Amino acid sequence: MRRLPHDNGAVMLTAEHGVAPGNAPLAHTARPVQGAAVIKDLWYKNAIIYSLNVGTYMDSNADGIGDFEGLARRLDYLHGLGITCLWLGPFQKSPRRDDGYDISDFYQVDPCFGTLGDFVDFTNQAKQRGIRVMIDLVVNHTSDQHPWFQEARRDPASKYRDFYVWSDRKPQNADEGMVFPGVQKTTWTRDPVAGRYYFHRFYDFQPDLNTENPLVLAEIRKIMGFWLELGVCGFRMDAMPFVIQTKGADRKQRERYALLREFREFLQWRRGDSIILAEANVEPKNSMHYFGDDGDRLQMMFNFWVNQRVFFALATGDTRPLVKALEQTRDHPATAQWGHFLRNHDELDLGRLTETQRAQVFEALGPDRDMQLYGRGIRRRLAPMLRGDRRRLEMAYSLMFSLPGTPVIRYGDELGMGDDLALRERDCARTPMQWSTEPHAGFTRAEKAVLPVIENGPYGFRKVNAADQRRDAESLLNWTERMIRMRKEVPEIGWGSFQPLETGHPGVLALRYDWRNNAVVVVHNLTGEVAEIQLRSVDDRGRQLINLLTQDHSRANGRGLHTIVMEPYGYHWYRAGGLGYLLERSSE
Ligand code: NOJ
Ligand code: CA
């Protein structure tokens, strides 16, 4: 069994002050890989992922809806920002009652976004810039308008009948297990045409596919194979735990983890460097089932467990539950990776905090009822949650970039975009990208945009937009670009092993990363107060800390202690070791 950590990456750095010193002794904190070396070109280990929806990014033909041609025109912006991989929300044919997570044809681009030709043109243009494209794979369910479901409900003899999950009567537990409680009333709805009940984990217009049916699995493989041929590098797999669960009236639910290996094998046979990034909000004790003990299942998972405790720390200034969560999710195969994020396209789900913790986050970050959703989450964007406080925003982003894994940014957060709570459910955080001060923020030349652009208040597009921010060296956009550059130059975080360092202050988190004879230390002050901390250097190299952001370096005293003064919401990134080290290539 091969587990973290590892010393096996391919990435090396360009020399600049403080970057990757080489000839230091092997850090004793880095545990070497057991057995054969891991393949060194796992691109997702040091990637910068950016998530967006085609429909709200850039409209090229003035119909008010973003499209692939518009997105293609914005690739230089994304390239300039430094992102290396895009994750696109669903864009296949769909009635769009759940922002496209209700697909009615898996093999078509919804005409409102363009054609398959536009899609391939876009993936090719992304490739020219070294940007990979990952897409959502939504196969837990289809739209009720999908021809499979239409056929299934009409004809009991159709092969599609068994594509879905049916029951003659309403199961006893039908009113349990809704994913959108409060909005969704049940998980079993009677279809008048079939005269039977069908199972839907999500809304009633999203009937669940029966993934125990080999024909359904064959279709899932076909869908993956199709999009791989068109240039994608992998899939963000929607609702993964539900995809692999046994489904059916009064049946005991069981996860069929073996399916994960099948998906992966198929993917890697068709395209060796393609990956699955799973949406699986599961407890840490179950995550290894998803990664597989030998790294033979999924390459990536979002770390929801850590995400919720990051927000707890942002809300309360207490980093202890976060440190614990990092420890609890430490274990993963050497080839696997966590995806870390702040906000995503859904509500900030706080369902895995204790009731008291959740109440504290609600109170600090989303006190009003209409800021909350499904009784467990907050639907606001990051910037308004942090009251637009630039210090807190930078610290939150810096923290996310320095968590053990790969960062996933949400479009518009690089500008500090806000939300529109007048929009329903999660739409409030899905408003069009704010490009400029032109009408509709330069997103569209149409009279009306698909979702209204934020016009007024501190987050209105006249105040928050990309065009203004790119001219301002100190803008959040340019800050983010610099952070991304630095994050890429610190591959220890994506590839290495971490250890929390004792700071003696619950509000200050210090993490040290070791990888390939290099080490970095990142320190974050989650509180609004100045905090003086002491850090003990783990080894000789740790006695000298080179600040990667300022000239404020630190040398340990005779007892090996650093005294560091953290500004309110301060963040420091240090490389351990002196200046003037030579870069060292990997010792194979
Ligand atoms: C999870 C997605 O993130 C969410 O947006 C969607 O509504 C559900 N899955 C159903 O597909
Ligand atoms: Ca359009």
pLDDT tens for 129-153 read: 999 999 999 999 999 999 999 999 9
- Exposed (0-12), middle (13-18) or buried (19+): which is 471, by Cβ within 10 Å? exposed
- Residue 417 Cβ inside 6 Å of ligand 1? The answer reads no
238 is catalytic: yes
Q: Which ligand is nearest to the CA of 56?
A: 2
451, 427 Cβ separation under 8 angstroms: yes
Does residue 8 have a pLDDT over 70? no
CA distance 66 to 100: 13
Query: Cβ neighbours of residue 351 under 8 Å, at least 6 residues apart?
Result: 281, 308, 358, 376, 377
Q: For residue 40, what pLDDT band results from cuts at 50, 70 and 90?
A: confident
- Take atom 10 of ligand 1 and give the residue whose Cα is closest: 101
Instruction: Give me ligand 2 centre to Cα 414, in Å.
Output: 23
The predicted model gives 304-327 an average pLDDT of: 98
Q: For residue 41, what pLDDT band results from cuts at 50, 70 and 90?
A: confident
Instruction: Give me ligand 1 centre to Cα 101, in Å.
Output: 6
CA distance 69 to 120: 11
438 is catalytic: no
Phi (first) and psi of residue 322, to 5 degrees: -65, -45
Instruction: Quick: pLDDT tens for 421-464.
Output: 999 999 999 999 999 999 999 999 999 999 999 999 999 999 99
Instruction: Quick: pLDDT tens for 92-116.
Output: 999 999 999 999 999 999 999 999 9
Mark out the alpha helices in 299-410 (DSSP H runs). 304-316, 320-328, 355-365, 382-385, 390-401
453, 431 Cβ separation under 8 angstroms: yes
- Take atom 4 of ligand 1 and give the residue whose Cα is closest: 346
- Exposed (0-12), middle (13-18) or buried (19+): which is 588, by Cβ within 10 Å? exposed
- Residue 425 Cβ inside 6 Å of ligand 1? The answer reads no
Locate 133 and state its tokens. 């494209």
Q: Between the CA of residue 206 and those of 103, 136, 543, what are the distances in Å?
A: 9, 16, 57
Q: Between the CA of residue 36 and those of 3, 39, 331, 390, 424, what are the distances in Å?
A: 12, 9, 19, 46, 52
**Among the listed residues 261, 223, 382, 363, the one whose alpha carbon sits nearest the alpha carbon of residue 310:** 382
Instruction: Quick: pLDDT tens for 183-216.
Output: 999 999 999 999 999 999 999 999 999 999 999 9
Provide DSSP, 133-150. EEEEE--SB--TTSHHHH
- Residue 98 Cβ inside 6 Å of ligand 1? The answer reads yes
Query: Cβ neighbours of residue 579 under 8 Å, at least 6 residues apart?
Result: 17, 18, 21, 546
Q: Which residue has the tokens 């090229």?
A: 60
- Take atom 5 of ligand 1 and give the residue whose Cα is closest: 346
Instruction: Quick: pLDDT tens for 376-398.
Output: 999 999 999 999 999 999 999 99
Q: How many CA atoms lie within 13 A of 405 on its CB side?
A: 28
Q: For residue 38, what pLDDT band results from cuts at 50, 70 and 90?
A: low
CA distance 543 to 540: 5
Sheet with 508-515: list strands edge to edge: 497-501, 508-515, 518-525, 571-576, 544-547, 554-555
What's the predicted TM-score (pTM) here? 0.93
- Residue 427 Cβ inside 6 Å of ligand 1? The answer reads no
Q: Which of 102, 238, 419, 492 is catalytic?
A: 238
Does residue 583 have a pLDDT over 70? no
The predicted model gives 34-38 an average pLDDT of: 49
